[in-house]
Amino acid sequence: MSRRQGFGRGGNNKNPPNPPKANNGAQTPPAVYQPQPLATASAVPQSSSVASNLTTDVVPNNEDAPKYFFQEKYAPLNVKGNFLTLCACPKNVELGEWLAHQIVEQYRLLHGMLQVIQEVNTVTGLPLCNENTCPTMSAGRLTYTWLVDGRAAKISAPKFINRVEKWIVSKIHDPVMFPTEPIQGAPHTFASGDVATPPASTPIPAGPTNLNASLTTLTGQDWIGKSSGFPPTFYKDCQGIMKQMFRCYAHLYHGHWLDPFWHINRHEMLNMCFVHFVTVAKYYKLVAEKEMEPMQPLIDLFIKQEKIPPEAIAGHWVSQEAAGTPAAAPAANPPAA
């Protein structure tokens, strides 16, 4: 776990990447990914549920700015290895417990990255991501919204991120969604391999299970986590949490990759956290493909390099019966669905 420490700033500062030069010495702009236009808000059919379903708007978010993080030479990781060994559920661990562990771990890594942009500048007295620099929660052409009184509203990125973090923490500490007490008479295996007692330290994943097995086969239950006391909505709740975490990553890249991550030499660590996140998201089908569009060029690059392993791309098939279909009770001021 020591390789993931050091989220603070300082040391090994670099100058911004320079665009490549042509043969005559003149500078030419680097190759920049240009995303295709997405549907506008006006294209959404008008109905009573529009406000609750609307998640993004198309906005002019300076798409002419170079997206260096979509280029291979700017996309190294600070570690090597197969992230599937950190992702696949060990054979002796109940899947609900393992997904709960994955959610907590992914939030821990994301929180470390968010702290980089939340650090206060001693000169301005403001964090790097503030109301002036990031008046909306944007990622390229997309602007993420927050449900306010049942309607989608644009709020600043720091306010959005703060609400997301509080929302995730409230979910993780909710004993209904993340139960800590084992079911009476049921064997209870934790992510560390211990039985009946929680792990004393951060769990270390064992070897992966059969990578071709579906989530339904792994659980053998009516829904994921049933045998460990997780509610029928647990898997859907995990999807909701991972979706909001992805949006935070998308903003970190589109809004802050150059400043501060490149300048303080933390872009490789950001890439490592993102690859780990996407591997988990794809392996357990926790984030929809449509949701990943703002970061798709980088994801495609990592897939091509097999930093996101092929087994994760194949993922697990999840049936409605395995995932559970009842709707979760709405949280106060939740992020847009």
**What stretches of the chain adopt beta strand conformation (E)?**
56-58, 137-139, 142-144, 146-148, 151-153
Query: Which strand ranges, in their side-by-side order, compose the sheet holding 137-139?
Result: 56-58, 142-144, 137-139
Q: What pLDDT, in 10s, does the model give residues 295-335?
A: 999 999 999 999 999 999 987 644 333 444 433 333 434 45
Residue 129 annotated as binding site: yes
* Residue pointed to by tokens 């240009």: 34
- State the Cα–Cα distance between residues 262 and 224, nearest whole angstrom: 40
Helix, coil or strand: residue 87: helix
Global pTM? 0.70
Query: Given 3.30.565.10, 2.40.110.10, 3.40.30.10, 1.20.140.30, which CATH number is that of 67-323?
Result: 1.20.140.30
60 upstream amide cis, omega within 30 of 0: no
Annotated domain spans of the chain:
67-323
Residue 251 annotated as binding site: yes
- Residue 247 has what pLDDT? 97
CB under 8 Å to 76, separation ≥6 — which residues? 268, 271
For residue 242, the one-letter residue type is M
Q: What pLDDT, in 10s, does the model give residues 270-301?
A: 999 999 999 999 999 999 999 999 999 999 99
Residue 134 annotated as binding site: yes
Helices (H) and strands (E) in the chain, counts: 10, 5
User: What residues form DSSP beta bridges with 58?
Assistant: 142
End-to-end Cα spacing for the chain: 33
